[in-house]
A = this chain, B = another copy of it.
Amino acid sequence: MKTAKTQVKRVPKRGHYDFETIASILDEGLVCQVGFVVNGQPVVIPTAYGRVDDCVYIHGAGASRMLKALMTGIDVCFTVTLLDGLVLARSAYHHSMNYRSVVVFGQARAVSDPQEKRAALEAFTEHVMKGRWDEVRSPTPEELAATVVLSLPLTEASAKIRTGPPIDAEDDYALPVWAGVLPLGLTAGEPVDAPRLRNAVSVPENVRRYAR
C-alpha cells in the first residue's frame, strides 16, 4: 500500500504500510476527518465511521452535503488521528507529540445492497460500543432507506506513528529542566441515564467498563 500518494514524506521512518497497523489505529479511533473538494475549496468534516475488512464506512442522512458530494465519486482524503502523549523536551524547539494517524486516499462508493448496508451499520454501532447492536432496536426498512452509507477501500492507506521520549539537542541534556512524556488517552466518565429511562434498566457492562 506504499504508493507515490501514500508514502510518508516528512520523517519517513514514522511511516507504516502494513494492514494490521492501519486496521488497529482505525479500530481504536472514534472520529474520522473526511477531506474533499467542492468548487476548488477544500472541506474537512469530522464524522463517525466503522470498518469491515478492508473498507471503512461513513454514513449519514441523505440530505448531507458531504455524502451527496462524495457519492459522485470525487477524491477523498480520510484521516484518523490518535493522540498518545505530549513530548516535553528541554528546549521549546524539540517539543513534539506522540500520535498514531492513518490517511486513506480514494473514492467512496454508495452502498446500495441492503445486506452490505445493514452489515456496515452493525459494524458502525459495534465500532463505537461493542455488543450494542444486539441490545438495541435494529433499523427498520424505512430507517435503512433514509441512511446513506458510503464505503472507502483501504487500498491507498498509510499510517504515521511517533512514540518514545523527546530527542534533545546534545548540549541541552545538561539543563536542569524536566523532560519526558505525558501520556494522554480518551477515557470514559460516569454514564448518564437518558430521560424517560424505564425503571429497572441498569447500565450494561460494556458501557460501565468502557475503554478504547
Interface residues, chain A, with chain B CB atoms under 8 Å away: 5, 9-10, 30-31, 33-37, 40-46, 48, 60-61, 63-65, 75-79, 81, 83, 85-86, 88-93, 95, 97, 99, 101, 103, 105, 121-122, 125, 128-129, 132-133, 135-140, 143, 147, 165-166, 168, 172-198, 200-204, 207, 210
A166–chain B nearest beta-carbon distance, Å: 5
Q: Bound state CA distance, A173 and B195, in angstroms?
A: 9
- Most-contacted residue by chain B among A33, A78, A135 (CB, 10 A): A33
Say whether, besides A41-B77, A65-B10, A172-B137, A203 and B180 are in contact (CB < 8 Å): yes
In the assembled complex, the Cα of A140 lies from the Cα of B191 at a distance in Å of: 49
Q: How many copies of this chain are found per oligomer?
A: 2
Partner of A191, one of B168, B180, B188, B201: B180
Contact flag A179-B165 (CB < 8 Å), given A10-B65, A42-B37, A207-B88: no
Quick one: given A128-B86, A133-B92, are A180 and B192 in contact (CB under 8 Å)? yes
CB contacts (< 8 Å) of A33 on chain B: these are 33, 35, 44, 46, 79, 81
- Cα separation A14 to B193 with both chains bound (whole Å): 22
Which of B137, B140, B190 contacts A183 (CB under 8 A)? B190
Q: Which residues of B have CB within 8 Å of A78?
A: 44
Does the CB pair B35–A44 fall under 8 Å? yes
CB <8 Å contact, B81 and A31: yes
In the complex, how many angstroms separate the beta carbon of A61 from the nearest chain B beta carbon? 7
CA distance A2 to B207 in the complex (A): 38
A77, A122, A190: which has the most chain B beta carbons within 10 Å?
Answer: A77
